[in-house]
Amino acid sequence: MRWMLWLLLISGLGGWSARAVAVDDGPLGPGSHPETGILQVLHRSQQTRLDRLPSAERGTPAAEVLEISVQRLSRAMGLQQPVELRIISGDTVAETVHGNVIVANDALAALPEGERMFILAHELAHVVLRHWSQVGDLYQQYIPGSVTPEKTDAVADALGREASRMARRHEFDADAFALRTLRELGYADAHALSALSRFGFQRDSATHPGTRKRLAALCAIDEPAQIETAAIEASR
């Protein structure tokens, strides 16, 4: 027998997603093992996602640009925990997996430097702010111990609402942290706004605030005149 557990998993800019994970409740499946907890299910789902992303060639000029950018941002943020950079191709722009793996498309190297730095800083902010750990804590509160259909069915709606609120808050927090980091490095605020608007104006989703809300939130940080002007330009 198979049942579905809905998970809201951390990813990055344009990469957060709500996805269903099928858990086998048979004799060999995780649902039947008394020690299978929600953290193991979350980890397995994240690893499946990571394994499916197409890897890009390492050692290229684009890869070097991304590696240098991540190193520079890590130093600026005072990042203590180790971070792995996975360079990929395909449709995904950037995301954070397992709370310490930064996934970045090699096409980011061709973006204007300030935009690239904001996107990567946003992903690193998820690491610094320990967002993945907070997601795990939330799921454990709702689904303690072993994962069973009875437990997940009973809390699915409430957990979904709370996880969605947390995911959106994490996006705002990561944007703000990234903006402040770019300011410390001497980049203009307009780079952050143009990075957010580059991929089109998205509406609210289960895990992401809409693009206009994210731009407005950035504009509210200290409210410098130049950021408001840039926001107007970005929204045209």
Confidence of residue 200 (pLDDT cuts 50, 70, 90): confident
What's the one-letter identity of residue 32? S
Question: How many domains, in total, are found in the chain?
Answer: 1
Report the mean per-residue pLDDT for the chain.
84
Please give the residue range of the domain that contains residue 44.
Answer: 2-234
2 pLDDT higher than 50 = no
Rounded Cα distance between 181 and 189, Å, is 10
Contacts of 66 (CB under 8 A, 6+ apart): 85, 87, 104, 106, 108, 109, 116, 120
Alpha-helical runs (H) found in 24-93: 38-52, 61-77
What pLDDT is recorded for position 147? 92
Report the percentage of the chain scoring pLDDT > 70.
Answer: 79
Confidence of residue 3 (pLDDT cuts 50, 70, 90): very low
pLDDT digits (tens, 9 = 90+) for 56-113: 998 999 999 999 999 999 999 999 889 999 999 999 999 999 999 999 999 999 999 9
Neighbouring C-beta atoms of residue 65, cutoff 10 Å:
17
> Helix (H, G, I), strand (E, B), or coil: what is residue 122?
helix
138 pLDDT higher than 60 = yes
What pLDDT is recorded for position 146? 92
What pLDDT is recorded for position 35? 57
Contacts of 126 (CB under 8 A, 6+ apart): 10, 12, 96, 99, 132, 170, 174
Q: Name the pairing type of β-strands 2-9 and 17-24.
A: antiparallel
Neighbouring C-beta atoms of residue 179, cutoff 10 Å:
24
